[in-house]
Amino acid sequence: MDNKELYETVDIRARQWLGDEYDETTRKQVRSMLEGSKNELVDAFYRNLEFGTGGLRGIMGAGTNRMNVYTVSMATQGLANYLLRQFSHLDSVRVAIAYDNRNNSKLFAETAANIFTANDIDVYLFDDMRPTPELSFAVRHLHCQSGLVITASHNPKEYNGYKVYWEDGGQIIAPHDINIIAEVQKITNISQVKRDANPGRLKMIGEEIDLGYLARVQKMSMSSDVEEKKKDLKIVFTPIHGSTVNMIPRALKMFGFEDIVRVPEQDNTDGDFPTVESPNPEEAAALAMALEKGEQTGADLVMGTDPDGDRVGIAVRDTDNRFILLNGNQIASVLLYYVLERWKDVFGLKGNEYIVKTIVTTELLSEIASKFQVECHDVLTGFKYIAGLIRMNEGTKKFIAGFEESYGYLVGDFVRDKDAVLSCALIAEAASWAKDRGMTLFEMLVELYREFGFYKESMISIVKKGKSGADEIEAMMERFRNSSPGTINGSRVMQVNDYLKQKSFDTLSELRKDIDLPKANVLQFFLQDKTTISIRPSGTEPKIKFYIGVSGKLERKEDYQTVNNDLLKKIDNIIKDLDVK
């Protein structure tokens, strides 16, 4: 539609929000937008906030395209309708609900809880904020049919979200994701929502679930023989204002770590995240205060998590005793090596074990797994696909660990989503184990590069906000899809994988074959020099992401910096050749 038609449609939709069924604060915000900027009004009302394959995520505020009690209510009614139909054979349907520290998270969680109970669904609601992995645990522990976390993960403070889980503790996947979307889309007006809460169906949960979850975390400890090194390891930890403020220090102490240094300013669970621009441990700025504390205290290890406690970033000391940040692929690599090395001694490897990584995560993981004769499976980006594979293989194969390059890791299967609580404890244990062998985690990483090859990855995100941004991202994907480059940085493109078309094209033989993974708007280019390039729009943010992986040989550890610089230069040249802005 043209701009005039768009403005007319948006105006009509906005004025519907001036009715008595909306609270006065909401009506005031809508009136202000109607009288003000057309762009703000369009962004707030040009569409319904999309209930995607994982749930909702968006900027908070009034409007159909915003996170607010009305969009949350309508999504919850759609989900409730689906659950009641799907589990009609049960005497009762159960849902567990958790939330993080974001502004309005508690309000949205309570709103959803009330609507579920109004639909005669039993609700277990946490009494305070909890990390996402604990919700995943609670779904299974309490024999729930579904779960819900109110969080926008690592997004900036303006955002919030609504993340849905199934009875296995994993985020929803096919066919339930599509079916739930269809039910949510049927709820077109707030009047369709049942809002007369039934308090008798609501049960508050808290410490009893904490203890059950932490007991399972503690069972994953694999190095009781380095207790003294654990006591000596000085760790700086920051929750970056988030929900792990108590849980991770408790887990670390249960593992035997005593010297835990806090960042008091970031222990404040403020949804405005006052000390950072963005509470994302993938970004160096988010860990700046923790790094400063690490230098002041002479710490060995710095760790920080995102608000809902499913991602962790770390800093380690290099050979010059300076702190450096490891990226998500590097953390995954040292964690996997430690876990497999210890797993074979503590739990034993029987030949039916496997790990899972996403298609954009480093190939170094598959090399490490191969050494231990452990299968490595690739899935689409999104931890829900890792959880789906765990469920599919349950009872036949043994899941050890799963990894996303975006700082998400899971060891063991009692949780079915990435788990920063357990990851922090195991990363610290890996550091103690390495220290007992006269190494730092950084030196351990260099040894992995020397043994398996120097794998270097980089990811660039291009932010395109609003409707116009979404159009630009779509156009960019179409350009790469319909006009695939023949060479990139002088290296021939040998294979193109298009996960939307579910086809893989070999440029030498010109043969096409099917890709046995779900449809996704992802493109991958495999080059003659073993470079891999993956392109995908983010499913949760207004971004398009480019993942670049290169590799080389590291003959001697003394050559680390030289090889590292060469690979960084190669990545820079690839980015220039892609010509994306």
- For 96-108, the pLDDT digits (tens) are 999 999 999 999 9
Summarize pLDDT for 517-562 with one digit per residue, the tens: 999 999 999 999 999 999 999 876 788 999 999 999 999 999 999 9
Q: Which SS3 state, helix, strand or coil, does residue 258 take?
A: coil
Is position 154 within any domain? yes
CA–CA separation, 476 vs 496, rounded Å?
16
pLDDT at 427 over 80: yes
Is position 32 within any domain? no
Q: Is the domain of 439 the same as that of 465? A: no
Whether the pTM exceeds 0.75: the reply is: yes
DSSP letter assigned to residue 200: G
Q: Is the domain of 283 the same as that of 424? A: yes
pLDDT at residue 324 in the model: 97
Q: Is the domain of 290 the same as that of 170? A: no
Summarize pLDDT for 481-505 with one digit per residue, the tens: 998 899 999 999 999 999 999 999 9
**At which of 451, 475, 506 does a domain end?**
451
* Amino acid symbol at 183: E
Is position 235 within any domain? yes
CATH number at residue 494: 3.30.310
Domain that holds residue 144: 47-192
Q: Is the domain of 69 the same as that of 111? A: yes
Structural domain tally of the chain? 3
CA atoms within 13 A on the CB side of 146: 30
Indicate which residues carry an active-site annotation: 153
Q: Is the domain of 447 the same as that of 458? A: no
pLDDT at residue 579 in the model: 87
Q: Is the domain of 468 the same as that of 509? A: yes
Is position 12 within any domain? no
DSSP string of 476-541, one letter each residue? HHHHHHHS--SEETTEEEEEEEETTTTEEEETTT--EEE--S---S-EEEEETTS-EEEEEE-SSS
Q: Is the domain of 350 the same as that of 424? A: yes
pLDDT at 342 over 80: yes
Pairing, β 523-527 against β 532-537: antiparallel
CA–CA separation, 166 vs 536, rounded Å?
25
Q: Is the domain of 443 the same as that of 464? A: no
Is position 199 within any domain? no
CATH number at residue 122: 3.40.120.10
Q: Is the domain of 388 the same as that of 317? A: yes
Q: Which residues contact 211 (CB under 8 A, 6 or more apart)?
A: none
pLDDT at 1 over 60: no
Is position 478 within any domain? yes
Assess contact for 33 and 40: CB atoms under 8 A: yes
Is position 536 within any domain? yes
Q: Is the domain of 498 the same as that of 439? A: no
Q: Is the domain of 432 the same as that of 458? A: no
Is position 212 within any domain? no
- Tracing tokens 């050890």 back to the chain, one arrives at 400
CA–CA separation, 142 vs 138, rounded Å?
6
Residues 393-396: contacts with CB under 8 Å, at least 24 apart: 393/354, 396/352
Which of 136-145, 147-156, 459-468 is the least confident region?
459-468
Q: Is the domain of 270 the same as that of 184? A: no
Summarize pLDDT for 242-281 with one digit per residue, the tens: 999 999 999 999 999 999 999 999 999 999 999 999 999 9
Smallest Cα–Cα separation from 441: which of 555, 320, 330, 576? 330
